[in-house]
Amino acid sequence: MVSRARSRSVSSGRGSARRRTDAKPLRLLIVAGARPNFMKVAPLLRAFRARPDRFEARLVHTGQHYDEQMSDVFFQDLEIPLPDIHLGVGSGSHAAQTARIMEAFERVAASERPDWVVVVGDVNSTLACSVVAAKMSPPVRVAHVEAGLRSGDRTMPEEVNRIVTDALSDLLFTTSPDADRNLAAEGVAKRKVHRVGNVMIDTLRRFLARADSSDVMARLGIAPPFGLLTLHRPSNVDDSQALRRIVAALEAISRDIPILFPVHPRTLKMIESLGVDMPVGAGASGLRLVDPLGYLDFLHLQKRARLILTDSGGIQEEASILGVPCLTLRENTERPITVTRGTNRLVGSDTAKIVAAARRILRAPAPRTRPIPLWDGKAAARIAAVFARLG
C-alpha cells in the first residue's frame, strides 16, 4: 500500500504537471468496465507495463459488462492480463449501476492510494470512477483517454458521461482536432490537453494481421459480399417506432445483400419484448442473427464487409481506417472526423434514407478515405510519454 504522505505529495496541485520529488514509479489505476473499453486499455497496459521503472499500472475491471460473450473473450483476444481488481457490479439502470461502481471503487481508491486514475471512453464506469477520484481527500488526479468528443445530444447518457469526466480531469488525451476545439470552448486549460491519436486504432493495427487468419466466415457459413450490422443504443432499440423503421430498412437491403447481425443480449431482449418481427432469411439473402463475436472474429468480418450499419462510435472509427463504407444509424456523431475524412455517413432511423444510402454504396466502388493524423498505432506510447515527463 502507498503511504498517505506519498499520496499527498503527488496529488496536491490538482491539474498541474509538476515533476515529482521521489523516484518511485507512478501508481496508476486503469479502469475498464464495458466492451468498448477493452480495446482502449489493452495498448495502455502494454505501454505502461513496458516501463516498470516509471509506472506501476493496475487494471480495475468494474464488471459493467460481465458475461463471457461480452467481456471475457475480449481479454483473451487482446492479450489483456486478468484484472488486478474486479468490482463485479453487473447490470442495472444508469443510476443504480453508477452508484454501485462508485461505492465499490471508493474502497479500492482508498486502499490503493493511486497517483492517477486513468479512465477511457464514455461508459458509466468512466464517469463513476472519475467522480470518486475527484472527491477523495486529498483528490486523486484523473486522466481521460478519448477526451473532448461531443455529439451535442445530451439525451445520450454517454454525452453526459463525457462532459462530466472531462470537467473533472487533470489530463485530457484527445483523438482529433475537433475534440481539442470542444474542450477549449468549455474552458479547459490548454496545458491539460494532449492530442495523442486513437488508442482503439492502436489495437486494430496491432491485431489486424492476426484477425486475417480467423475462420469465422467458414464457421458461420458466410462469404462476401455481405453487410454487417450492430445495434444497441437505447434510442434505437428501446423505441419501438425507431426499431421498426430500422428493421423495415434492413428487410429491403437484405434483398440485395445478406446482412450478418451479431446481436447484443440487451438488444435481443428488447426486440423480443417489443414484439418486433425481424426479417430473418435463409439462403443467400436475408438478415442472420448470431451470438456476439470476439474482437478478432468481428474485425475479420469488418474488413471484408461490403457495408457496415451501426450505431456504435468505435465501429465508425474502425470502418474508416479499414476503408469500409459505414452507415451510422444515428442523427449525430461525437466522431465527426469519420465523416469528413473517413467512410462514415449519418442516416438516422429513417427507412427511406437508410435504404437509399445503402443502395448507393452497393452500386459504387468503396469510398476513398484520407489518412487521419496520429491514428497510426502509437497513441498509447504518446500517452505513456506524457506521464513519464511527470516524474
Q: Which amino acid is at 223?
A: A
Strand boundaries in the chain, DSSP class E: 26-32, 55-61, 85-86, 116-120, 141-145, 171-174, 193-195, 227-229, 259-262, 287-290, 307-310, 326-328, 344-346
CB atoms inside a 10 Å sphere around CB 278: 18
Query: Alpha-carbon distance 258 to 276, whole Å?
Result: 19
**Placement of cell 476513398 in the chain:** 368
Contacts (Cβ under 8 Å, ≥6 apart) of 307 = 227, 228, 253, 257, 324, 325, 326, 327, 358, 361, 362
Query: Alpha-carbon distance 116 to 386, whole Å?
Result: 13
Distance of CA 227 to the CA centre of its chain: 22
DSSP assigned state of 192:
G
Q: 64 has which bridge partners? A: none
Instruction: Categorise residue 315: left if φ over 0, alpha if ψ from -120 to 50, beta otherwise.
Output: alpha
Residue 21: φ, ψ to 5°: -90, -10
Among 61, 65, 94, 232, the one annotated catalytic:
232
Are the C-beta atoms of residues 159 and 153 closer than 8 Å to each other? yes
Q: What is the DSSP string of 253-322?
A: HTTTS-EEEE--HHHHHHHHHHTPPP-B--TTSSEEEE----HHHHHHHHHH-SEEEE--HHHHHHHHHH
In 3-state terms, what secondary structure has residue 190?
helix
Please say if 194 is a catalytic residue.
Answer: no
Residues with catalytic annotation?
A: 232
